[in-house]
């Protein structure tokens, strides 16, 4: 029984001691949270907001140009244009058959993507078959023409012999009766006219044959040009990097990205982009209330969500003149572009950024948290000091969390963050500042 009482007493003492210690700790913590210390140092007036990292410059990786003829220059290389003498293909879109993973780092000339060329391979196969037929037709036409003209030349030669024989008969008939001579003359005339007709027929057949051959040659040449154009066009279905960079998929209007299986239309041939990582920008937005404070040339501190502990510095290069309404925002927002002054190879497009725009800096400023400042019915600002006084303060610039105290407080002074109990008992001091405060309003 006695032992039980001793144990109970010890437990009671431990509990009481613990409660006393806990109460002191809580009271101390509460005291710390109730007061804030007046600080002195560099005071920054800033505007902060989230943004996105982008490459300032980038190269578009495009599919073949459908409407550029093969003899024209241009950024997309020689293309194949339906029509223009080769109205054989009606191309309106491509399908991406294969593409390297997004984020792949490539060198100039490296493979990036392959477009599906199945339908166009069939067209090329048909044109090659047509080319073979045209070549055979040309050879056959040349051979037939040679045989035909050779036969006509033989007929002309034979007719020339007949004319010569008729002429000899006429010469030998000069001692014959007039009727015989006349008959010889008629025979010579007929053979000469026959020779003339054969020569005319030969020239006509020859001209017609040459025209047919030239037409076949033209068809063959057009076929060869078409095949060459198709082969050159299809060679562009294997897409390579136009420069060094990192592969970023093309984003559609609805936010989806073009990848393997996606369709590329004739009016927007971009398959992917290659950002130039040597020059990066952070894009952020500032609301219409604060945009007047922002201007080009201002410095910005940039942090990256994916790179904790690292800070980058930038300079504002552009502030939009026209605002826009962003999703989940009722206020007009103005786009602000910030060039990173010290880009690093770890920076990548689409990284989420936090941008602290430095509007103004004040050296050796005395400042306190904004929640420490109170006003009465007369709108005169004051603070509650730890020494049981209400100190009137002359305020200056303010930022998101703190306000500069021009006069009324000294560094190191403790002021209340929340109104103290029985605050009406606190004595008002600093009335000499009231006139200056009202003068500045």
Per-domain residue ranges of the chain: 48-54+276-361, 58-116+237-273, 121-234
pLDDT in tens, the chain (441 residues): 445 545 555 555 545 454 444 444 444 444 445 899 999 999 999 999 999 999 888 888 888 876 654 433 333 334 444 444 444 455 677 888 899 998 888 888 999 999 888 877 888 888 888 888 888 888 888 888 888 888 888 888 888 888 888 788 878 878 788 888 788 788 878 888 988 888 888 888 888 888 888 888 888 888 888 888 888 888 888 989 988 888 988 888 787 888 888 888 878 888 898 988 888 999 999 999 999 999 999 999 999 988 998 999 999 999 999 989 888 778 899 999 999 998 888 888 889 999 999 999 999 999 999 999 999 888 899 999 999 999 999 999 998 899 999 999 999 999 999 999 888 889 999 999 988 988 876
Domains 48-54+276-361 and 58-116+237-273 equal at CATH topology level: no
pTM listed for this prediction? 0.58
User: What span, in angstroms and rounded, lies between the C-alpha atoms of 314 and 310?
Assistant: 13
Q: How far is CA 127 from CA 134, 216, 226, in A?
A: 10, 15, 8
Give the helix ranges, DSSP H, for 35-117.
none
User: What span, in angstroms and rounded, lies between the C-alpha atoms of 190 and 341?
Assistant: 103
**CB-CB contact of 419 with 374 (8 Å):** yes
Topology of 58-116+237-273 in CATH?
OB fold (Dihydrolipoamide Acetyltransferase, E2P) (2.40.50)
CA torsion through residues 207, 208, 213, 214, sign = positive
User: What span, in angstroms and rounded, lies between the C-alpha atoms of 124 and 121?
Assistant: 5
Q: Give me the half-sphere count of Cα atoms (radius 13 Å) on the Cβ side of residue 41.
A: 7
**CB-CB contact of 157 with 125 (8 Å):** no
Q: What is the CATH number of domain 48-54+276-361?
A: 2.40.30.170
Task: Give me the DSSP letters along 282-351.
Answer: EEEEEETTTGGG--TT-EEEEEETTSTT-EEEEEEEEE-SS-EEPTT--SEEEEEEEEESS--TT--TT-
User: What span, in angstroms and rounded, lies between the C-alpha atoms of 159 and 198?
Assistant: 8
CA torsion through residues 60, 63, 67, 69, sign = positive
Burial of 80 per CB tally in 10 Å (0-12, 13-18, 19+): buried
Q: Give me the half-sphere count of Cα atoms (radius 13 Å) on the Cβ side of residue 188.
A: 16
Task: Give me the DSSP letters along 169-227.
Answer: HHHHGGGS-HHHHHHHHHHHHHHHHHHHHHHHHHHHHHHHHHHHHHHHHHHHHHHHHHH
Nearest to 57 by CA among 238, 239, 248: 248
């Amino acid at each position: 029984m006695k032992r039980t009482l001793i144990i109970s007493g010890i437990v009671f003492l431990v509990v009481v001691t613990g409660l006393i210690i806990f109460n002191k700790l809580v009271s101390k913590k509460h005291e710390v949270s109730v007061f804030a210390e007046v600080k002195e140092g560099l005071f920054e007036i800033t505007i902060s907001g989230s943004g996105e990292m982008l490459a300032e410059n980038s190269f578009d990786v495009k599919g073949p140009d459908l409407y550029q003829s093969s003899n024209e220059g241009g950024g997309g290389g020689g293309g194949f244009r339906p029509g223009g003498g080769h109205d054989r293909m009606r191309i309106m879109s491509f399908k991406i058959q294969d593409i390297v993973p997004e984020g792949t780092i490539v060198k100039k000339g490296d493979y990036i993507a392959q477009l599906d060329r199945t339908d166009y391979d069939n067209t090329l196969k048909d044109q090659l078959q047509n080319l073979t037929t045209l070549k055979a037709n040309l050879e056959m036409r040349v051979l037939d023409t040679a045989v035909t003209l050779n036969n006509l030349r033989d007929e002309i030669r034979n007719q020339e012999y007949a004319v010569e024989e008729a002429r000899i008969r006429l010469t030998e008939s000069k001692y014959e009766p007039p009727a015989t001579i006349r008959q010889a003359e008629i025979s010579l005339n007929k053979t000469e006219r026959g020779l003339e007709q054969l020569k005319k027929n030969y020239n006509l057949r020859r001209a017609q044959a040459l025209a047919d051959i030239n037409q076949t040659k033209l068809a063959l040449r057009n076929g060869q040009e078409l095949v060459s154009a198709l082969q050159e066009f299809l060679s562009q279905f294997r897409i390579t990097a136009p420069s060094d960079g990192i592969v970023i998929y093309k984003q559609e209007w609805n936010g989806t990205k073009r990848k393997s299986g996606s369709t590329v239309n004739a009016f927007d041939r971009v398959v992917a982009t290659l950002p130039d990582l040597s020059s990066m920008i952070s894009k952020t937005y500032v609301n219409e209330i604060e945009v007047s404070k922002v201007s080009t040339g201002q410095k910005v501190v940039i942090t990256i969500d994916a790179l904790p502990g690292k800070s980058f510095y930038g300079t504002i290069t552009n502030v939009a003149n026209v605002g826009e309404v962003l999703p989940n925002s009722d206020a007009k927002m103005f786009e602000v572009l910030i060039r990173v002054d010290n880009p690093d190879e770890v920076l990548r497009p689409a990284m989420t950024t936090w941008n602290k725009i430095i509007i103004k800096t004040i050296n050796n400023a005395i400042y306190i948290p904004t929640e420490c400042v109170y006003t009465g019915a007369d709108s005169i600002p004051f603070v509650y000091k730890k020494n049981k006084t209400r100190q009137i303060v002359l305020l200056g610039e303010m930022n998101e969390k703190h306000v500069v105290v021009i006069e009324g407080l000294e560094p190191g002074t403790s002021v209340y963050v929340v109104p103290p109990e029985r605050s009406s008992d606190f004595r008002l001091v600093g009335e000499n500042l009231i006139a200056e405060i009202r003068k500045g309003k």
